[in-house]
Chain A
Amino acid sequence: SQQGEEDPQALSIQEGENATMNCSYKTSINNLQWYRQNSGRGLVHLILIRSNEREKHSGRLRVTLDTSKKSSSLLITASRAADTASYFCATASNNNDMRFGAGTRLTVKP
């Protein structure tokens, strides 16, 4: 069964705009990770945030984590057409596997 649930399911924006995706999960976690998947390809790791961290940055990516609300958000600033992909959150818990959400399909129009 899935742990995370992304919101929205699909997002369409213009190049240069910011894209925000949200993820909610159900159980306590050690860390939360975001991955990107281009159509039909493997997933690529973007960023990891630990349960004791609240915010993390990597290039144009900003991730926040609110463990009290069991939620995370991924912000992509100044989006590019090449950012078009599906984005997944994944949670890692004690003695547990990595569970992925259903993903957000992002389309960035040039």
Chain B
Amino acid sequence: KAGVTQTPRYLIKTRGQQVTLSCSPISGHRSVSWYQQTPGQGLQFLFEYFSETQRNKGNFPGRFSGRQFSNSRSEMNVSTLELGDSALYLCASSTLTGGRTGELFFGEGSRLTVL
């Protein structure tokens, strides 16, 4: 079974631009969560999608958005990029959602650098 696939792996943007990151979950997994990882803040929860519906959202500004498609693939978008958005963005898929969360399967991440 193929693992969680995130694209692109690396990207460089400038302040003010926007970026879209993609995540393909493991086949059969309907829950996709996104996390931002930075050296200073650690792993911060962004949002979780289950069957195309956003189930949970972390404490991030509205510039961070996401969606999930009918095939469970998910995208997250960050608009008006700021230097502080430089981070490793991790996607994780699971068969469960919310409080019944079991094991999360992570992708290798998309490393975003904002100049």
Contact = CB atoms under 8 A, between A and B. Distances in A.
Given A98-B33, A102-B42, A33 B99 contact: no
Contact of B35 (A100, A101, A103): A100
Contacts of B59: 1
Interface stretch (A56-64, A73-81, A88-96): A88-96
B43 A100 contact: yes
Given A97-B33, A97-B56, A99-B45, A42 B90 contact: yes
A48 B102 contact: yes
A60 B90 CA distance: 27
B105 A30 contact: no
B98 A95 contact: yes
Interface residues of B, number: 27
Given A88-B43, A97-B45, A100-B43, A30 B100 contact: yes
B88 A97 contact: no
Q: Which one of A30, A97, A99 has the greatest number of beta carbons of chain B within 10 Å?
A: A97
Contacts of B82: none
A103 B99 contact: no
Nearest to B48: A97
A101 B41 CA distance: 10
A41 interface: yes
A16 to B, nearest CB: 29
Contacts of A93: 99
Interface stretch (B12-20, B69-77, B107-115): B107-115
B58 interface: yes
Contact of A44 (B45, B98, B106): B106
Interface of A: 1-2, 30-31, 33, 35, 40-45, 48, 88, 90, 92-103
23 contacts: A35-B106, A40-B109, A41-B108, A42-B107, A43-B92, A44-B106, A45-B104, A90-B104, A92-B99, A93-B99, A94-B98, A95-B98, A95-B99, A96-B98, A97-B33, A97-B48, A97-B98, A98-B45, A98-B104, A100-B35, A101-B42, A103-B42, A103-B43
